[in-house]
Structure 1
């Protein structure tokens, strides 16, 4: 089988979408090295990283790279042109992973990864440019995709609720998994936490942006401290996103700026240490296609408090305390209870390890390879009757 696979978001600054594509292609190459893999450093013009694939980790006897484009404009011209499919060698499968979706494929089976439509649920969670571009890609998938891969049952349900005419039997749930292969890794303490004892801080991982709900989290943390909660610092690990320019001012107004540590983007080794040594991992996100920080924290035994909405209960199972993301006081009370009950915290940690074991990249890659086989055995959707 000749598989064309979008790796455009798997560079050094990858986030959730990039980790999904990165781990799946690595697992497929390992499981099925006999296939021919054409990896696309650029895919469309919505997401563009001119450094791809200079620092790319993929290797294999039948692994090749598609065209590398140095500008967004040259990428756009190539990927929207009528000759793109032929120029790529007419792969039997073309898998889109970055929201952008081609519509001109005549013979290749188009597989489209659908993450979520949070951008359409609440306009305040993102920018107008991102919202329009993401919706354009998802809308194109409804017209052109032969199969859709949803990253959770919640995402699948959302896709079909917005686009009820898409055939239900052509959308398949394939779960992401942790990026970390070694669950015994101890990681590396971030320098910013040199003076913070292990096991004595709250942790939140994710880009600082409205959808991740850090504004309410720090309000809950302020309430927790006011109620007499142990003064463990709150560590926010993640880069600064959009629409949060006044976040530092908000910390000052709440009087918690001295207790909140914003340590920015961290390395994988540092993230492992943070998960393994936090008192608890807090994930109050308002909307998630999957919620990778919940699973990754559980892999390293982090006791978890998380939102009870969208896909997060699928990931957390019975191994976390689930709270409505808008319930600031509920979060404060849950933190207060857990801080005063080490036994419950340790029980959550043990349950987290067990829950994390239910997700495995090998199983996900096997499911995706099977979907490819089914796609090749089926007519292209636009020709189906």
Structure 2
């Protein structure tokens, strides 16, 4: 959600030189945005998100006499008296949980969203969401909002592109096409357990037995999973990078043979577009918003069917013509999603809200 907000704001900075913006951020050393003539950054000094959002942010709105508030990450202040635009990426927190390995922080966040979002939606002017799939979900759960929901697609940063040179020596030394790439998110909906099982099935059938790189996954967590799943035999085929900075992901994508994205539930699926933009084909799920975003430019499998995921991997590996066609189609598809378009549509919403006051 943070990356979506950052890219959208950067797009607005290029597009809108007339309106005045105040970007409220939390404390910390990271400086991801720069001020411009009409974009000012204000740090609200609290690491407690409830205090930041429900106390400090309303105080700022009153102080600066804001005309409109856009909250970009699902929640917003309850105590406000100006029009609210809310980006509601999904309502997964309102649905039955998938798995049960969330941290206390994640569980508290889920409780907070379940409590506050229905209250906010009674006051919101416009809800932005990131796919038609999610728009339907929200409208089904909150029928009175149906006419207030707008789909605004995410974009792909231009830094995600095919590379010929690799700045980081770790990636420069890897053979191109030598591994499958999996982002090692431990959220149950990302389907890590089934993917590891499917990879074991793939190894049994593959003539090439390509390794699998798990990015941003703790080695201790992986070792625990391999014991739980009785998959010790695949450990020698796994490459673990416990931390890869986001600006280095383009190099990791580029060196991969293909990207695995067998998620159970996505409101959009930005990583699959990033992989496409780097010229890497994708094996992904036939569920949620993924077909809307990927269309016929990927190999589909069912996330709950281990054999289906393995079959998708083998199909891509054994069919060079399919592989080459998906590289070309993926590159073309990724160009349809642009952060400048996201910013332009967002600005249109701001102006419509302002005119309706």
- Cα distance 1:148–1:162, how it changes in 2: closer, same or farther (>3 A)? same
Q: Does 1:135 align with 2:114?
A: yes
Residue correspondence of structure 1 range 1-385 to structure 2 within 5 A: 17-42=1-26, 50-51=27-28, 55-72=31-48, 75=52, 78-79=55-56, 83-87=59-63, 89-106=64-81, 108-123=82-97, 124=99, 126=102, 127-166=106-145, 168-181=146-159, 183-186=161-164, 188=166, 196-205=174-183, 207-239=185-217, 246-250=224-228, 253-379=231-357
State the 4+ residue runs in structure 1 displaced beyond 6 angstroms.
Answer: none
Q: In 2 relative to 1, CA 171–85 (structure 1 residues): closer, same or farther, beyond 3 Å?
A: same
Alignment length (residue pairs): 350
Query: Which structure is higher in RCO with an 8 Å CA cutoff and minimum separation 6?
Result: 2
Deviation sequence 1:165-210 (CA, Å, 0-9, x none): 22x2211000111234463555637665566411121111252321
Q: 8 Å contact 2:160–2:277 — kept in the other structure?
A: no
* Aligned residues: CA RMSD: 2.5
Q: Structure 1 residues 254, 160: CA separation in 2 closer, same or farther (over 3 Å shift)?
A: farther
CA distance in structure 2 between the aligned counterparts of 1:67 and 1:148, rounded to whole angstroms: 25
Q: Which has the higher helix share?
A: 2
**TM-score when scaled to structure 2?**
0.90
Contact 1:119 1:134 in 2 (8 A): yes
1:112–1:148 Cα contact (<8 Å) kept: yes
Distance in 2 separating the partners of 1:164 and 1:230: 51
Structure 2: 5+ residue stretches without partners: none
TM-score for the superposition, normalised by structure 1: 0.83
Equivalent position SS for 1:294: helix
Mind listing any 5+ residue stretches in structure 1 that lack a counterpart? 1-16, 43-49, 380-385
